[in-house]
Amino acid sequence: MAKYRKLGRTSDQRQALLRSQVTSLLYHGKIVTTESKAKEIRKIAEGIIAMAVREKDNFETVTVTAKVARKDADGKRVKEVKDGKKVTVYDEVQKEITKDAPSRLHARRQMLKVFYPVKEVPTANNKKKANTKEVDMVKKMFEEVAPKYVSRNGGYTRIVKIGQRKGDGAMEVLIELV
């Protein structure tokens, strides 16, 4: 018995397909695909969600002193002359950052191996590239998805059969987060 479905593709094509579909599923919450693809997507997605739930609170908040360039009203760096050279003026600022525990850092890197970059495009603008922003999927997993599933022990996805596709008769399903 095989450990996974080959889906009629070479290994790199299959891996790319599954990565993109898992990214879409976890970003949108549900996708429509074939039954065999959905069963493979489920394995990967459930593992990632379980990892996020396990490492959700595994960090500490640390206060750090950082040097930040002083800026004028226009947002440009303030420079002053020292020893005949123009030098940027820096201020010391206290910042609070979250420091991941080693296991959470490992989980973050494992998730980054799966996720493709996601760009969020505002629907109000007709300009395609204006105001697009990069979505941090790992942050979304830890802050939005994981808290929903803390009380669940597995079974984070649901597969609902839709019917056969008209073109090739493949069974189409809706895979969604529960």
The predicted-structure confidence for 137-173, as pLDDT tens digits, reads as follows 999 999 999 999 999 999 999 999 999 999 999 999 9
User: What CA–CA distance (Å, rounded) separates 16 from 53?
Assistant: 25
What are the residue ranges of CATH 3.90.1030.10 in the chain?
11-55+103-177
User: What CA–CA distance (Å, rounded) separates 88 from 77?
Assistant: 7
The predicted-structure confidence for 39-52, as pLDDT tens digits, reads as follows 999 999 999 999 99
CA distances, 14 to each of 6, 18, 21, 108, 138 (Å): 7, 6, 11, 23, 22
Q: Provide the CA 78 distance to its chain's centre, in angstroms.
A: 37
pTM higher than the cut 0.85? no
CATH code at 11-55+103-177: 3.90.1030.10
CA distances, 152 to each of 7, 49, 83, 107 (Å): 30, 11, 64, 19
The predicted-structure confidence for 92-125, as pLDDT tens digits, reads as follows 999 999 999 999 999 999 999 999 999 988 777 6
User: What CA–CA distance (Å, rounded) separates 54 from 147?
Assistant: 10
Percentage with pLDDT > 70 across the chain: 97
User: What CA–CA distance (Å, rounded) separates 103 from 118?
Assistant: 25
